[in-house]
């Protein structure tokens, strides 16, 4: 596969900040989205040096944003039943685990599977993350799962 | 529709720098010689460029210093302040650490010598070469001047041909003349 180098952070940020912000506004509402936005890109900065290549950066940053939003939701209900469940990261396979599991899928299928089943994103959010349509996202996720199933059985 | 608000964007850029998460911070400074691209690392000033094409600059900086290159004004402020003072005639020497990672040893030696050429004076490519102990390297020194990563602060505008002609300048001869005029240099 052709090597895609990691772009300067400015370009990555410039390309994805508006979509990430919209995504967070949908998940959290306008006001809470602002704090989550900053946290998302600070986490992205922390993780940036360990990126091996520049592919799927939009899906990558959407997974971070989704996780930040989940953390935010959990913090806001400290006494509620959600807090008694295992932490978000423990309940769900991490992006890295799922990515490994789905490692040999075609790029788009892998991203769709990880976002759908790893992060519970809706298909319109996945479509947004992959610059695709909702139908195409649904199709990519289901054919990814079919392919995984064939491989595992 | 729902673009990131300017204040939020600014807050993130400040926070990124304050958290020490950037390999390179950059900004654009308005000066009498035009807009200057100015970049710093945590070690010091690493780039000044007359080229306003920031995309090209950030690509190159990412290759040398790491990919976390972000426009963030605050870390660049001390450099802008000294440049302002210089152009206002209130500063003759820059008091800024520089970061020359990624340059060859000879380049660093030459740029180190260059930094000693005082305000308002000129030297020649040959003399500068001689001061590095390689008197025959005038041409190599010329190339290094042409690729000077930190013009103005490392004053390659003070280096002229042996006949006193200005010869060349990465930012164009007009700018070289303007800087030498500003310093009342004898050319």
Residues B109 and B176 in one domain: yes
Residue A3 has pLDDT above 60, yes or no: yes
Q: Average model confidence (pLDDT) for chain A?
A: 80
CB-based burial of residue B36 (10 Å sphere; 0-12 exposed, 13-18 middle, 19+ buried)? Answer: buried
Residues B83 and B10 in one domain: yes
Mean pLDDT of A87-96: 48
Residues B118 and B83 in one domain: no
Is B46 an annotated catalytic residue? no
In sequence order, what are the residues at sequence separation of 6 or more whose Cβ sits closer than 8 angstroms to the Cβ of residue A59?
A111, A114, A115, A129, A130
Domain boundary among B26, B57, B87: B87
| Mutation to test the B interface, candidates A16, A24, A34, A45, most B Cβ within 10 Å | A45
Task: Tell whether B187 is covered by a domain.
Answer: no
Q: How confident is the model at residue A129 (pLDDT cuts 50, 70, 90)?
A: confident
Distance from CA of A36 to the nearest CA of B (A): 11
Tell me which chain A residues have a C-beta less than 8 angstroms from the C-beta of B62: 6-9
Mean pLDDT of A5-34: 94
Tell me which chain B residues have a C-beta less than 8 angstroms from the C-beta of A25: 2
Which positions in chain B have a beta carbon within 8 angstroms of at least one beta carbon in chain A? 1-5, 8-9, 11-12, 15-16, 19, 21-22, 54-55, 58-59, 61-62, 66-71
Q: Given A9, A18, A51, which is nearest B70 (Cβ)?
A: A9
Residue A96 has pLDDT above 70, yes or no: no
Domains and CATH numbers, chain A: 1-86 (1.10.1740.10), 92-153 (1.10.10.10)
CA–CA separation, A91 and B45 (whole Å): 46
Distance from CA of A107 to the nearest CA of B (A): 23
The reported pLDDT for the residue numbered B87 is: 97
Count of structural domains, chain B = 2
Q: What is the DSSP track for chain B?
A: --PPPHHHHHHHHHHHHHTT--SEEEEEEEETTEEEEEEE-SSSEEEEES---HHHHHHHHHHHH-S-EEE-HHHHHHHHHHHHHHHTT--SS----B--TTS-HHHHHHHHHHTTSPTT--EEHHHHHHHTT-TT-HHHHHHHHHT-SSTTTS-GGGEE-TTS-----TT-HHHHHHHHHHTT---
The reported pLDDT for the residue numbered A112 is: 83
Domain boundary among B87, B113, B138: B87
Task: Tell whether B38 is covered by a domain.
Answer: yes
Domain boundary among B87, B119, B141: B87
The reported pLDDT for the residue numbered A98 is: 62
CB A58 within 8 A of CB B38: no
Residue B141 lies in domain? 105-182
Query: Touching check for A18 and chain B: CB below 8 Å?
Result: yes
Distance from CA of A148 to the nearest CA of B (A): 34
The reported pLDDT for the residue numbered A95 is: 53
Mean pLDDT of A35-62: 94
Give the residue, A73 or A38, on which the prediction is more confident: A38
Q: How confident is the model at residue A116 (pLDDT cuts 50, 70, 90)?
A: confident
Q: How confident is the model at residue A108 (pLDDT cuts 50, 70, 90)?
A: confident
Please report, for the domain that includes residue B176, its CATH number: 1.10.10.10
Q: Write out chain B's pLDDT in tens, 187 residues.
A: 579 999 999 999 999 999 999 999 999 999 999 999 999 999 999 999 999 789 999 999 999 999 999 999 999 999 999 999 999 999 999 999 999 999 999 999 999 999 999 999 999 999 999 999 999 999 999 999 999 999 999 999 999 998 889 998 989 999 999 999 999 998 8
């Amino acid at each position: 596969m052709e090597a895609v180098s990691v772009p300067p952070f400015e370009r990555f940020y410039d390309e994805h900040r508006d979509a990430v912000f919209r995504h967070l506004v949908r998940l959290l509402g306008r006001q809470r989205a602002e704090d989550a936005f900053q946290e998302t890109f600070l986490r992205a900065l922390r993780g940036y040096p360990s990126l091996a290549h520049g592919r799927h950066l939009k899906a990558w940053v959407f997974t971070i944003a989704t996780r930040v939003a989940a953390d935010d939701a959990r913090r806001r209900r400290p006494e509620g039943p959600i807090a008694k469940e295992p932490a978000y990261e423990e309940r769900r396979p991490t992006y890295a685990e799922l990515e490994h599991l789905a490692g040999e899928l075609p790029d788009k299928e892998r991203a769709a599977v990880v976002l759908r089943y790893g992060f519970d994103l809706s298909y319109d959010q996945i479509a947004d993350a992959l610059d695709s349509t909702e139908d195409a996202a649904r199709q990519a996720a289901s054919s990814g799962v079919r392919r995984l199933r064939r491989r595992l059985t | 529709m729902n673009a990131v608000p300017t204040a939020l964007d600014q807050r993130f850029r400040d926070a990124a720098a304050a958290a020490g998460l950037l390999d390179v911070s950059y900004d654009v400074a308005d000066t009498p010689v035009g807009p200057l691209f100015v970049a710093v690392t945590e070690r010091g000033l690493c780039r000044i460029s007359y080229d306003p094409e920031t995309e090209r600059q950030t690509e190159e900086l990412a290759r040398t210093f790491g990919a976390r290159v972000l426009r963030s004004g605050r870390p660049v402020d001390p450099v802008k302040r000294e440049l302002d003072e210089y152009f206002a005639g209130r500063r003759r020497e820059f008091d800024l650490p520089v970061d020359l990672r990624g340059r060859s040893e000879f380049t660093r030696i030459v740029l180190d010598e260059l930094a000693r050429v005082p305000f308002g004076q000129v030297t020649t490519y040959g003399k500068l070469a001689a001061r590095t102990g390689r008197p025959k390297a005038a041409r190599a020194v010329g190339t290094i001047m042409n690729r000077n990563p930190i013009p103005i602060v490392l004053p390659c505008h003070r280096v002229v041909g042996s006949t006193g002609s200005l010869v060349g300048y990465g930012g164009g001869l007009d700018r070289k003349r303007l800087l030498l005029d500003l310093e009342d240099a004898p050319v």
